[in-house]
Amino acid sequence: MTSFSSLAAISRPPPSSVARASFPARSVSVPRTRFRVNCSYAEAGVSDDSKSATIDVVADVKTERVVVLGGSGFVGSAICKAAVSKGIEVVSLSRSGRPTYPGSWVDQVTWASGDVFYANWDEVLVGATAVVSTLGGFGSEEQMQRINGEANVVAVNAAKDFGVPKYVLISVHDYNLPPFLLSSGYFTGKRKAESEVLSKYPNAGVVLRPGFIYGKRRIDGIEIPLDFIGEPLERILQAVENFTKPLSSLPASDIFLAPPVSVDDVALAVINAVSDDDVFGIFTIEQIKEAAAKVKV
């Protein structure tokens, strides 16, 4: 599979028009908006309005509208919050809809309630410049196949059919696990989703593969500070990286050695992906952190 490091060198000309498919008998508005700004000014010392010259300035202003599937979840809410802080318009789709906790960023997100398998995509995807999927989770084999795999396949195809130019998937690191352990519904579902993204979006699909993600996770209204464990662990593993690298070829070694990543870094890597047309491909844990650093202020 293509890695980000090799892809980073590829530079594509800025798309003058974005190729898009659409639902039958339905046209989709082009998400890149052009604003025409007309400025009138009077030359120095000339106050007569009739002599003032008019300059037409046409500026390309990129307006982003990102649809976050699962924006109410742990990772999804960090993505929504980061996107709002960057002035990006955000729509979230999840079964529970708007979260119950307060927050100024919460008020700036459009919260749609619905199941991805029965979504009214015409409403959800209108004007979208990118879809970000955080759909995934654990459960029975069947449930894991469904939410990690099939749900994402449905969403990728809906976005592609609708002509959304970019798709970002939150997948998972493989922890260097032996093949028999990667055969669980969680990992097979994730890989199925990844191939759908990369085949339908060969030049604009982004797959982030984080390991353990830390931050403040809300469960039933209670905040669980996973950063108490995640942050120091990330620092320790980074500090001893040179010593532990030789062990990385051992099967399953990454269960202990893969550095955790903060939920804010995952969110910023998503922002980097949705705001740069030239970003596509698979991102490892390290590359997620590098991408996040690019948009960190």
Counting Cβ atoms within 10 Å, is residue 144 exposed (0-12), middle (13-18) or buried (19+)? buried
Task: Say which residues have a Cβ less than 8 Å from residue 3's Cβ, sequence separation at least 6.
Answer: 281, 282, 284, 287
Count of chain residues binding ligand NAP (CB under 6 A): 24
Spell out the long-range contacts of 20-28 with Cβ–Cβ below 8 A and sequence spacing 24 or more. 20/163, 20/165, 21/160, 21/161, 21/162, 21/163, 22/161, 22/162, 22/163, 23/122, 23/161, 23/162, 26/122, 28/126, 28/127, 28/162, 28/163
Residue from 82, 83, 88, 135 binding ligand NAP (CB under 6 A): 135
Residue from 31, 136, 149, 259 binding ligand NAP (CB under 6 A): 136
**Nearest approach, Cβ of residue 243 and ligand NAP (Å):** 25
Scan residues 76-95 and list those touching ligand NAP (CB under 6 A).
76, 93-95
**Nearest approach, Cβ of residue 76 and ligand NAP (Å):** 5
CB 65 within 8 A of CB 110: no
Residue from 28, 66, 67, 75 binding ligand NAP (CB under 6 A): 75
- Residue 74 interacting with ligand NAP (CB under 6 A): yes
Q: Which is closer to ligand NAP, CB of 52 or CB of 113?
A: 113
- Residue 282 interacting with ligand NAP (CB under 6 A): no
Question: Which residue in this structure is represented by tokens 């955080």?
Answer: 134
For residue 193, count other CB atoms closer than 10 A to its CB: 26
Distance from first CA to last CA of the chain, Å, rounded? 31
Interface stretch with ligand NAP, choices 110-118, 174-182, 244-252, 288-296 (CB under 6 A): 110-118
Q: Which is closer to ligand NAP, CB of 165 or CB of 260?
A: 260
Q: Which is closer to ligand NAP, CB of 261 or CB of 279?
A: 261
Scan residues 201-240 and list those touching ligand NAP (CB under 6 A).
210, 212-213
Task: Give the per-residue contact string, 145-184, with ligand NAP (x = CB under 6 A; - = no).
Answer: --x---x------------------x-x------------
Strand, coil or helix: what is 127? coil
Interface stretch with ligand NAP, choices 43-51, 83-91, 134-142, 270-278 (CB under 6 A): 134-142
Task: Say which residues have a Cβ less than 8 Å from residue 264's Cβ, sequence separation at least 6.
Answer: 78, 82, 215, 292
- Residue 115 interacting with ligand NAP (CB under 6 A): yes
Q: Which is closer to ligand NAP, CB of 20 or CB of 217?
A: 217
Task: Quote the longest CA-to-CA distance of the chain.
Answer: 82
Q: What is the DSSP letter of 149?
A: I
Interface positions with ligand NAP (CB under 6 A): 70, 72-76, 93-96, 115-117, 134-137, 147, 151, 170, 172, 210, 212-213
